Structure 1
Amino acid sequence: MTVLDTTSLDAQPVAVANALQLHDARPFSEKALVYGVQHGILDAARLAAICADAPKGMVQIARYFGSEFLRPELEKARDRMVNLISLYLLDTTGGDVAKAAVSLRDHSFLSRSKGGSDMLKRLIAMPESSNFGMAGYDDAQTPLLAVWSLRSYTDYQAELARRSEIARAIRAAQWLAEQHDLDTDELEAAGADAEAVIRTGLLMQALAPRAMHLGEWPNTVALEKLVTALRKKKLAAPTQLPLPAGVPAELRAVMQAQCASVLADLPKLLDAANPLRNLLRPTGAFRARYFLLDDPLAEVDHYHRSLDAIEEGGEPPRPASKTWTRTTQGNEDEHSLLTLFLCLAAGAPKKTLLTEKAAASLVRKIRKSGLQPELATAFIRSHAPGAYQSDYIGMWNSFVQESGKTLGSDMDYQMHDALAVLRRECHVVG
């Protein structure tokens, strides 16, 4: 940067201006310096002070990021200082070169550099992700500052806007969680996404508005009971979704951005023809959009109540058949079972685990011969444990409904989407 070359600034102001004109298209701080010299805003004394400050700033920056004794580090420090000053001047003057020149006249060169550094530190301190589980990781501040100190003002503005939106989403999620006495620590421990928390809060506002400030945050069992009760009343899904009372004005927009998604999900949730277990299964697309608490005790209690209901009918649940035991080999997690069911429906050898190559072959077979979901359903009814058959069939039907078109689509020429579905929903290993 010309302002750091003391020999070029020891000459007369006019000569300096003529030399600096060659760099007019370069960083904003240089443009401000050129303008200041040409219009008499920066006199020889001020230029001398800048020339004295600049080497000090370079050494400080080089020391902060590495070593002040290496020439490459000093050269990089010069670039950082130029950019930091440009960022600060652009931000505080709105890109007005005359105001920027006055700022260089009235304040020290080092203070403008520090101003740019403080801007970036505030940016880096803002949340980078809306996932609560990613909060609190500031160990990388220095490396991030090293990166951002060389980025453009346009990049800074874009990142500031992105992180500001994330910060508003987090505050909105925290506000909704507080209405249900749910602490931020619990959100962090669960790794909840702010958007999922917002959608769940809005969903509860739609389903049980009177309990908005009283009820606990829902778990799967509680939501299932609530929706089941509402289905019995045969209520129509609302067409509008008002925000909860008392929402701070600055959080309304970020909540309203999620209303359309919740309104689209409500008809599916309230439609009695759509099995709830399908919607609420842990890896389903619906469940992924919402944050429900894990409550193993509630789920165990719900399971035993289901068994009691079966036993009261005089028919104890049938155990798994030998075929089921031999086929699954104890692999009865959701991903393994969906792999098995998909193989059955495709007419492929029964497996609970697929290699990447086998997964690709299975997709090609599905696209050539199609799927027969009823084959998997029949296998479940004939061989699965009686107590779980309903859940397995619901899980399988939901998978077919959500993923069947993608697996059979001829538009996915490279099978990228289909294989992504299998990696997400089934048991696929590299």
Structure 2
Amino acid sequence: MKNSVAIVDDRPFFERAVRYGLEYGILGREHLSRMEADAPKGIVQIADHFGTAYLRTDLETAVARMANLISLYLEDFSNGDLFTAAGSLRDNTLLSHSRGGSEMLKRLHAMPGETSMHRRTVDAVGQKFFVNERTFAFPLSLSSYREQLRQCQTNQMRIDFARWLARLMNAQPDEYEDFSAEEVVRSAMLVLHVGPATLEIPSKSQFVKLVETLRKKSFKTKPAVLDAFLRDAPEDFRKLTQQAMQDFIETVLPRLKSGEKSADEILHAEAQGAFFIREMPEEDVVAYDKLVAREWVRITKGDADDPAVLATIFLNVATGQPAKATALLKEAKLIIQAFRERGFDSAAVLAFIDQHAPFEQKEDLKAMWLEDLKPDAEVHLADNDPQMPDAYMERSLQWFRKNCMASWKGSSR
């Protein structure tokens, strides 16, 4: 039985190309002399760029940097063919090969490493740091370079595709620059799948309506909408749209239709699988709340921004009374009496907020109760100060009228 041993040549590609060229007569003594004359110039330039040419350590690292840059460019240019690489060394200067490797790294740095939609500009400091790192501390092999380049090109295609969809659906760049390409594409696929009369990226209220439409038993998708949308599309984008729609149907649609989460929770609670939603200043906030938190709007009577309304509701809930936005005198006394006997049921208030309030407001409402209203009410509704007895609740009722929606006039007696 014969054993075979694979020999791995781990020398820099530049060195391998030079040796190959000398062995097979592609490079001669005159070519080596030219390289020997070129090399110091390049080493000094590189040392000055990343440090100073006056320090020995910087010059030594510059030698390694130059060899790595030349190797990267040569191997990419020749696709690993030593004959082609040696010919390039014969016909061109070392400096041109070094610059070629540097330009490769700069192009890679300028490409998107992820799919966020923000406007990109060349960051000179970041570019220098990247080239610095990738020429000495962590040099890139050609296979690693090409894999990173492939991923960046894929990211760029996704971004271009998302911009194309957004433009056709009447969204402006400043509206989606804080979102990812995937979020834009997901919203576009939702619109195309549901097929409303107007194909546009949805606002919050429109998103809720689209999800509600999906969840109707009578809902049927309209393939003609997608066909018409793709009629004049570029071939690459047509294929990407079809792929995106298939992915939407397989992975996103079941979650939207399940009903396990409200449209409000899907819109605000999920870091992964989120959607791009257009902010519509002219859209009535109450209209959105009516869609996603109907009971909340009913209880607050549409005045959920009024701290007095919220205070009245929370104090009612905290003392076991029905959730109401206003209080009669007798109801205010019941709240005060219940607090003095049993204290506040804070868990009930938090559960009420979780059950009824719009998702994006929940944390602020909980903080209002725990950090502001509850501590203040515990001080002013109590009757435990012998210096200021409040048997008839006059002091507490005055605080109540000042901070809550009291629906009585005149004396509190």
Match status 1:181 vs 2:170: yes
CA distance in 2, matches of 1:394, 1:48: 71
Give the match for residue 160 of structure 1.
149
Q: Please state how far the C-alpha of 1:25 moved relative to its aligned partner.
A: 3.5
Take 2:360 and 2:28, find their aligned partners in 1: how far apart are those partners? 80
In the other structure, the counterpart of 2:92 is 107
Aligned to 1:282, what secondary structure does the other structure show? helix
Matched, 1:54 2:43: no
The answer for the alignment partner of 1:259 in structure 2 is 245
Distance 1:284 1:122, change over 3 A: closer
Q: Helix, strand or coil for the counterpart of 2:283?
A: helix
Measure, in 2, the Cα distance between the counterparts of 1:314 and 1:196: 34
1:129 deviates by 1.9
> In structure 2, the residue corresponding to 1:67 is in which secondary structure?
coil
- State the match for 1:248 in structure 2: 234
State the distance in 2 between where 1:142 and 1:312 align: 55
Name the residue aligned to 1:282. 268
What's 2:256 paired with? Answer: 269
Aligned residue identity for 2:134: W
Say if 1:275 and 1:51 are closer, same or farther in 2 by CA, change over 3 A: closer
Q: How does 1:14-93 map to 2 (within 5 A)?
A: 25-93=10-78
Q: CA deviation at 1:248?
A: 2.8
Amino acid at match of 1:174: R
The answer as to whether partners of 1:380 and 1:389 remain within 8 angstroms in 2 is no
Letter of the structure 2 residue corresponding to residue 170 of structure 1:
I
Instruction: State the match for 1:333 in structure 2.
Output: none
Residue in 2 aligned with 1:197? Answer: 184
CA RMSD of aligned residues (A): 4.1
Q: Are residue 121 (structure 1) and residue 106 (structure 2) matched? A: yes
1:22-42 deviation per Cα after TM superposition (whole angstroms, max 9, x unaligned): x96411011000010111111
Partner of 1:320: 313
Distance 1:255 1:72, change over 3 A: farther
Within 1, Cα distance between the matches of 2:282 and 2:114? 31
Which residue of 2 is the match for residue 335 of structure 1?
none
On the 8 A contact 1:62/1:73 being kept in 2, the answer is yes
Q: Secondary structure at the match of 1:128?
A: coil
Q: Which amino acid aligns with 1:320?
A: I
Mapped contact 1:277–1:391 kept (Cα < 8 A):
no
Q: Structure 2: how far apart are the matches of 1:71 and 1:241? A: 68
Deviations, residues 163-216 of structure 1 (Å, cap 9, x unaligned):
11111111011111110222223222xx1011111111122111126533xx3x
Match of 1:211, SS? Answer: coil
Aligned pair partner of 1:220 in 193, 204, 211: 204
In the superposition, the TM-score normalised over structure 1's length comes to: 0.63
What is the alpha-carbon distance in structure 1 between the residues aligned to residue 46 and residue 121 of structure 2?
Answer: 26
SS in 1 for 2:77: helix
TM-score (ref. length: structure 2): 0.65
Compare CA radii of gyration and give the structure with the larger one: 2
How many residues are aligned here? Answer: 317
